[in-house]
Amino acid sequence: MCVNNGIPWVSFCISTYKRANLLELQLQSLLKQTFQNFEIIISDNDPEGSGKEALRYINDTRVKYLINEVNLGMVKSFNKSLSNAKGQYVVMITDDDPVYPEMLQTLYDLTLKYPGYGMYQGGCETLCYSSKIAKVMRSKVGLNSCLSSELDYEEVKIFDAEDFPYYFFKGKLGALLLWSTAIIKRDILIANGGMPDYGTEYFTDHAFIVVNGSAQGIVYINKSLGYQAIHGQNFGFNELKNVTKYTSTPEAFSNWVEDRLKTRADWKVLKNDMHDFVGRAMVEFSLFIKKSLDVFNIKNEQFDEARKDVFKKSFLKKWRFKYFVLSKFPITFQYLISIKQKYF
């Protein structure tokens, strides 16, 4: 199916680097979409073009493969694929997070039923491949739902541009939102600078969703349209020793989001919600790093000092105690939360 003089309805934009096996599986998955009006733009960060191996059995003119002369890094590589996209909508997707065959059809149907919004988003799951990874993620081996418990299964929730960031910062849309299970109008994404490029890849998914969803609103369906594959080769696991990126994340994220949302009349109130969101996220992120280092027996003496520096930041100081309790007494903390929810 093609419309608008052969222009694809959506562009899948992929960044990859020396993972031809994962890229091949991803391409095979995307080509099984029940809605077929799309193109796939691959930006390969390997100057030797190792990703080309993934296309050996694929003969489809909708797949476009670009080799970068140097390794641009994940974010700039994503933006390279975006600059070559022609679709009305864009899906930013990694080479290892598959989406389900009905993903595009589901979101296309939402655009017909609820026209005029800038972003259409589905829920997701995580897939933990090993017991060690499941332990780090505090999940189980296999699929784990990240759907919102505030909504029924397959319930559709519409957020206008004013309301969406409040819901997002308060965590009302599930444990995780993947950019790969969302379509966004290409002009909105380009106007906001594409994939967030603020010196660290951490939290770029959060920045991406909250800023672009706040442009023209979002239609969300509480149904898993794909999953995040957690296999140990993920960026977060590979960058565990990068203390500099860890310490720069809170301010880099906050500044990038503020630059794009500060013209809102309610920014002063929303900024407080954003800082609380960053506080919760940094507690979870710090616990993830600590757990990963412990489970995989990795020594990193710099991390404790870096964590202390992070929670000295003015808008993060109040989160130090929560990190301490969760890291030392997680069972007690969860018990206290359950008591609070039950009686208060």
CATH superfamily of 1-95: Spore Coat Polysaccharide Biosynthesis Protein SpsA; Chain A (3.90.550.10)
Q: Where is average pLDDT lowest: 52-66, 107-121, 232-246, 303-317?
A: 232-246
Please, what is the average pLDDT of the chain?
A: 90
Instruction: Show Cβ contacts of residue 271 under 8 Å, excluding neighbours closer than 6 positions.
Output: 258
Q: For the chain, give every domain's residue range.
A: 1-95, 238-343
Which residue has better confidence, 245 or 241? Answer: 245
Which residue has better confidence, 178 or 336? Answer: 178
pLDDT at 4: 54
**Quick check: 332 pLDDT over 60?**
no
**pLDDT tens digits for range 202-220:** 999 999 999 999 999 999 9
CA 164, CA 218: separation in Å to the nearest integer? 7
pLDDT above 90 as % of the chain: 72
Closest CA to 24 of 43, 48, 44, 51: 51
pLDDT at 341: 44
pLDDT at 241: 66
Pairing state of beta strands 10-16 and 142-145?
Answer: unpaired
**Quick check: 300 pLDDT over 80?**
no
Helix (H, G, I), strand (E, B) or coil at 198: coil
**Quick check: 329 pLDDT over 90?**
no
CA 208, CA 90: separation in Å to the nearest integer? 12
> For residue 344, what pLDDT band results from cuts at 50, 70 and 90?
very low
**pLDDT tens digits for range 90-103:** 999 999 899 999 99
Q: Inter-axis angle of helices 243-261 and 267-295, to 10 degrees?
A: 160
CA 51, CA 66: separation in Å to the nearest integer? 10
pLDDT at 288: 86
**pLDDT tens digits for range 133-154:** 888 888 899 999 999 998 999 9
pLDDT at 304: 86
Q: Where is average pLDDT lowest: 41-45, 214-218, 303-307?
A: 303-307
**Quick check: 1 pLDDT over 60?**
no
**Quick check: 108 pLDDT over 90?**
yes
pLDDT at 295: 84
**Quick check: 303 pLDDT over 80?**
yes
**pLDDT tens digits for range 153-201:** 999 999 999 999 999 999 888 778 999 999 999 999 999 999 999 999 9
CA 40, CA 13: separation in Å to the nearest integer? 6
Q: Is 277 exposed, middle or buried (0-12, 13-18, 19+ CB in 10 A)?
A: buried
Residue 218 phi, psi dihedral angles, 5° rounding = -145, 145
pLDDT at 49: 95
